[in-house]
Structure 1
């Protein structure tokens, strides 16, 4: 099942639901939608907090981290069935996953690794994405990943690869502006050039997160406030398209309720600020 931005509801500004943040999110104002890591929930026995928030009318998007559409092996039927069950249990408008390599030959990578951006790889991943779409009851959105290396035989930029994948499959995009910044910092891939290449009419929603630099490498850790440079990329994106939703990710070293509320306010401000200066 494919889709475009016009097929989605207006999601607003959201936050990634984590068990450690359940009460925080329940009492926070200004949260319009949620995302939950699909591997962390059982559709038949959803966490009480998610049931409470769904009852309030907040949309919840299942976000997978282990499907592995970027490998040579076909996506697991069991993993696809779990994603589909999550979407049905949460009455979700879509499901999201990563354009990433996660396993091969029975071995788990342990990370969301970049895929080789070659024509051969594109053919394999196109078939994987089509199979995933056929197995899901709602549209699928794929996320660009953060990288600390690129494959030596890459023939396309990440944005060119995603654009061709969208053209072949109609898959939607989850654009992580923190990952665009990470790849600009680590690999010299211009975030602005990526935004100019990506088919933003297929944008489902956006991720924002923080990280830090260590020994000349940017690590996308989701454990700090988003740096201004990441919010500037968000502003550049919003100057080109009005996203259905923008979501804050925070995965460890959780801050106070007030700090999270401040991050949501910074995101809203960045969405309405155009003309930010981004190195090209």
Structure 2
């Protein structure tokens, strides 16, 4: 995977901010929110500066029983080609069945049967994409009672079967630690970290019933940065990206958050 550095999620609400932020190594754009035939001017500006842009899909539903929608795959491929992207990313998640959408990235049952289905869907996606695919672990509010593997074991076997890369979201590891009692460090012990394409960090807050909500609307907690440092002490990820999706702060605050990410990475060396 190419070296990407520290980046930020591009959103139309902060397009000029992203252009102004110093030392942004790469950006990530939600693929479903852009049309490859009419790219936003800001993304064109960033590409002109040589900043890599990674399309990040949220709708393939690779964890569903049905094969990924060819039209959605074609859109993701077209985004990658239009942006000259080094890779694309998606989630190991269930999103829809037929015309019914969950409206959320739901966890996949971690069973052998489900693994075979997901692996087949991932291969179909890889065959349809012009660049490598990286898959993200999701934040969960529940686990399936029939689980036969941990999430890290499931992802490790998926990598072994398909050769897919990983997008490790350390904020999601923290969320699952808080909500489900799944230690993040134990996940890092099992995940094939040499296959990491890049890493996500984000903030959240406590919601109803004491659950941690991964909202991407707050400063990154120190606990999440500690998990990032732990990951970076084991492997040097090609890139680390800050997600912020609403309640956008000032340019100075976002620049400060990126500096905190850089400091967390540097602590591992």
Q: TM-score range by the shorter chain?
A: over 0.9
Does structure 1 residue 238 correspond to structure 2 residue 228? no
Does structure 1 residue 193 correspond to structure 2 residue 177? no
Q: Deviation per CA, 1:48-69, whole angstroms, max 9, x where unpaired?
A: 0000010000000000000010
Measured in 2, the distance between the counterparts of 1:128 and 1:114 equals 15
**Aligned-pair distance for 1:140?**
0.3
Partner SS, residue 37 of structure 2:
helix
**Aligned-pair distance for 1:274?**
3.3
Structure 2 unaligned blocks of 5 or more = none
Out of 129, 149, 173, which is 2:166 matched to? 173
Structure 1 unaligned blocks of 5 or more = 1-7, 276-280
Superposition CA RMSD, Å: 0.8
Measured in 2, the distance between the counterparts of 1:95 and 1:12 equals 16
Aligned to 1:264: 258
- Of structures 1 and 2, the one scoring higher in RCO (CA 8 A, sep 6+) is 1
Q: TM-score, normalised by structure 1?
A: 0.95
Measured in 2, the distance between the counterparts of 1:112 and 1:63 equals 13
Aligned to 2:114: 121
Q: Deviation per CA, 1:169-191, whole angstroms, max 9, x where unpaired?
A: 00000000000000000001110
Does structure 1 residue 157 correspond to structure 2 residue 146? no
Q: Quick check: 229-238 or 26-35, which moved more?
A: 26-35
Q: Which runs of 4+ in 1 moved over 2 A?
A: none
Measured in 2, the distance between the counterparts of 1:42 and 1:54 equals 16
Aligned to 2:128: 135
Partner SS, residue 241 of structure 2:
strand
Does structure 1 residue 247 correspond to structure 2 residue 241? yes
**Aligned-pair distance for 1:213?**
1.1
Q: Where do residues 74-153 of structure 1 align in structure 2 (5 Å cutoff)? A: 74-153=67-146
Does structure 1 residue 226 correspond to structure 2 residue 220? yes
Aligned to 1:4: none
Aligned to 1:55: 48
Partner SS, residue 257 of structure 2:
helix
Q: Where do residues 13-52 of structure 1 align in structure 2 (5 Å cutoff)? A: 13-52=6-45
Q: Deviation per CA, 1:257-276, whole angstroms, max 9, x where unpaired?
A: 0000000000000001139x
Partner SS, residue 148 of structure 2:
coil
**Aligned-pair distance for 1:216?**
1.3
Measured in 1, the distance between the counterparts of 2:61 and 2:97 equals 9
Measured in 1, the distance between the counterparts of 2:237 and 2:148 equals 29
Aligned residues: 268
Q: Deviation per CA, 1:210-261, whole angstroms, max 9, x where unpaired?
A: 0011231000000000000000000000000001000000000000000000
Does structure 1 residue 274 correspond to structure 2 residue 253? no
**Aligned-pair distance for 1:105?**
3.6
Measured in 2, the distance between the counterparts of 1:105 and 1:63 equals 22
**Aligned-pair distance for 1:109?**
0.3
Measured in 2, the distance between the counterparts of 1:96 and 1:255 equals 26
Does structure 1 residue 73 correspond to structure 2 residue 66? yes
